[in-house]
């Protein structure tokens, strides 16, 4: 009976030791992972603290601890053998009765508090105090390389058939005139005819009656070309032509575009960032203080809107303008950059 009781006690004691050791290993693994993660997190803001965290993380992981433990014990013995170690005895003696695990956890918490406080204070100063924000600008003057010229003429009459015949005659004159300006046949689109019935309005001004007022016939042609300056001249000359011919001009618009606009974006952004750097240097170099200030690395950068205005137009829109009315244009790019200062 006594042997059975002793065996039970031994089993309980061995189980207690096993779970105690397991708990310590779990705690060490947990601390090790946390410290290595903290080492990575504080690397950019507080390098000494990051190194300390890495060392603590290595010591906490059980397999690594078993490698370094003999050397640490040997180092501790050497320290205790030094003459000055007796001076610290009144302080260390009361701690001898406290569990080593509690001392270890307390030291870890204290070190973590100091390191994180230092890291956050440095990060706050770096982000919110020692920085300068500027807007860089880059522009480039370009010439449109493609034009779309919209031309429309119309006729109004109560005789639908005759109205359409007259419009076809006008359309033929128009096509011959446009071709005579120097445009190729493949640059001029096919004609698009449309006939609309217009009804008289009611005397009240609201709605229409069933009485036909006239038939309005329209025809549109489009000129798509890279001869942008010829289009510009043609828009003005066409007005005189239709006045002489008695033709009703319903549309006479030209749109000018620059096909390489997308390829210009990256080079302009690079120039805008370089301009922002010059502006930031000018700002910090003109400040007066106890210590010399210079700009450091880029903390943040935000692309602004791209604008295409008529040549030398410096107007700015929050959403970005895209001019289609001018042959000569100015592309404008902006970027907001925040630099750290040193």
Calculate what percentage of the chain has a pLDDT beyond 90: 34
Q: Residues 6 or more apart from 266 whose CB is under 8 A from it?
A: none
Q: Which residues pair with 309 in a beta bridge?
A: 330
Give 184's pLDDT tier (boundaries 50, 70, 90). Answer: very high
- For residue 211, is pLDDT > 60? yes
Asked if the model's pLDDT at residue 149 lies above 90, the reply is yes
Residue where the block lists tokens 């890279």:
226
Stretch among 80-84, 160-164, 295-299, 335-339 having the lowest mean pLDDT? 80-84
Once rounded to an integer, what is the mean pLDDT over residues 58-76?
62
Rounded average pLDDT over 285-293: 61
Q: How confident is the model at residue 15 (pLDDT cuts 50, 70, 90)?
A: low
What CATH architecture does domain 146-257 belong to?
2-Layer Sandwich (3.30)
Question: In this structure, what are the phi and psi dihedrals at residue 184, rounded to the nearest 5 degrees?
Answer: -75, 160
Least confident of 73-82, 134-143, 247-256: 73-82
Which carries the bigger pLDDT value, residue 156 or residue 341? 156
The mean predicted confidence, pLDDT, of the chain is 77
- The C-alpha atoms of residue 339 and residue 301 are separated, in whole angstroms, by 9
Q: Does the pLDDT at position 53 exceed 90?
A: no
In this predicted structure, what is the pLDDT of residue 177? 94
250 vs 121 pLDDT, higher one? 250
CB 250 within 8 A of CB 264: no
User: Could you tell me if 327 and 256 are in contact, meaning their C-beta atoms sit under 8 angstroms apart?
Assistant: yes
Per-residue pLDDT at 176 exceeds 50: yes
Which residues have C-beta within 8 Å of that of residue 268, sequence separation ≥ 6?
Answer: 138, 139, 140, 306, 331, 333
Say yes or no to pLDDT of 74 above 80.
no
* Sequence-separated (6 or more) residues with CB below 8 Å from residue 33: 57
Residues 223, 149: contact at Cβ < 8 Å?
Answer: yes
Residue ranges of domains in the chain: 2-129, 131-143+260-341, 146-257
pLDDT band at 125 (very low <50, low <70, confident <90, very high): very low
Pick from 193-207, 229-243, 261-275, 276-290: least confident: 276-290
98: confidence class by pLDDT, cuts 50, 70, 90: very low
| Domain 131-143+260-341 CATH (choose: 3.30.110.170, 3.40.710.10, 3.40.50.720, 3.40.50.300) | 3.30.110.170
Gyration radius from the chain CA atoms: 42
Please tell me which of 28-42, 241-255, 313-327 the model is most confident about, judged by mean pLDDT: 241-255
* Separation of alpha carbons 132 and 278, rounded Å: 12
Q: DSSP labels for 121-167?
A: HHHHIIIIISEEEEEEEEEEEEE--EEEEEEEEEEEES-HHHHHHHH
pLDDT, tens digit (0-9, with 9 covering 90-100), for 304-340: 888 898 887 777 766 678 889 999 999 999 999 988 8
The two structure tokens encoding residue 182 = 């120097």
Percentage helix, strand, coil, to 5, in the chain? 55, 30, 20
Half-sphere exposure of 309 (CA within 13 A, CB side): 16
Confidence at 290, pLDDT banded by 50, 70, 90: very low
Closest Cα partner for 212 from 229, 234, 196, 193? 196
Average pLDDT in the 51-66 region?
Answer: 64
28 vs 149: which has the higher pLDDT: 149
Give me the percent of the chain exceeding a pLDDT of 70. 59
Strands, E assignment, the chain: 131-143, 146-157, 192-201, 208-225, 248-257, 295-310, 328-341
Q: Report whether pLDDT(124) > 50.
A: no
Query: Is the confidence at residue 92, as pLDDT, over 60?
Result: no
The pTM (predicted TM-score) of the whole model is: 0.58
pLDDT at 50 over 70: no
pLDDT (0 to 100) of residue 58: 65
User: How does DSSP assign 288-329, residue by residue?
Assistant: --SS---EEEEEEEEEEEEEEEETT-----SS--B--S-SEE
**What is the arithmetic mean of pLDDT over 144-163?**
92
Burial 19-41 (b: 16+ CB within 10 A, else e): eeeeeeeeebeebbebbbebbee
**Which comes out higher in pLDDT, residue 72 or 171?**
171
d(CA 261, CA 264): 5
Bridge partners (DSSP) listed for residue 154? 218, 248
Query: CA–CA separation, 47 vs 115, rounded Å?
Result: 10
Residues 241 and 179: beta-carbon distance below 8 Å: no
Tokens 């490698």: give the residue.
67
Strand partners, 307: 332
Tokens of 76: 């501790």
Confidence of residue 256 (pLDDT cuts 50, 70, 90): very high
* Contact status, residue 174 vs residue 153, Cβ threshold 8 Å: yes
């Amino acid at each position: 009976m006594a042997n059975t009781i002793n065996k039970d006690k031994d089993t309980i004691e061995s189980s207690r030791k096993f779970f105690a050791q397991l708990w310590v290993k779990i705690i060490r693994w947990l601390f090790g992972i946390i410290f290595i993660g903290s080492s990575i997190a504080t690397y950019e803001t507080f390098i000494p603290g990051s190194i300390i965290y890495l060392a603590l993380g290595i010591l906490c992981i059980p397999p690594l601890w078993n490698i370094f433990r003999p050397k640490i014990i040997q180092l501790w013995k050497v320290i205790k053998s030094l003459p000055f170690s007796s001076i610290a005895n009144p302080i260390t003696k009361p701690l001898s009765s406290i569990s080593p695990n509690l001392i270890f956890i307390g030291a870890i918490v204290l070190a973590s508090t100091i390191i994180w406080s230092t890291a956050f204070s440095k990060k706050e100063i770096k982000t919110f105090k020692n920085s300068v924000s500027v807007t860089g600008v880059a522009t480039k003057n370009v010439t449109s390389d493609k034009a779309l010229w919209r031309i429309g003429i119309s006729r109004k009459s109560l005789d639908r058939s005759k109205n359409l015949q007259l419009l076809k005659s006008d359309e033929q004159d128009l096509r011959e005139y446009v071709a005579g300006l120097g445009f190729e046949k493949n640059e001029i689109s096919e004609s698009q005819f449309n006939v609309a019935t217009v009804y008289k309005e009611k005397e009240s001004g609201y709605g229409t009656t069933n009485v036909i007022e006239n038939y309005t016939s329209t025809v549109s042609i489009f000129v798509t070309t890279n001869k942008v300056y010829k289009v510009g001249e043609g828009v003005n000359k066409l007005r005189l032509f239709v006045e002489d011919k008695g033709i009703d001009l319903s549309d006479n618009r030209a749109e000018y575009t620059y096909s390489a606009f997308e390829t210009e974006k990256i080079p302009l952004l690079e120039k805008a960032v370089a301009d922002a750097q010059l502006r930031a240097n000018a700002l910090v170099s003109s400040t007066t203080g106890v210590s010399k200030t210079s700009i450091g690395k880029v903390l943040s950068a935000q692309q602004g809107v791209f604008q295409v205005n008529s040549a030398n137009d410096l107007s700015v829109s929050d959403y970005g303008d895209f001019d289609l009315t001018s042959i000569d244009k100015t592309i404008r790019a902006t970027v907001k950059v925040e630099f750290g200062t040193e």
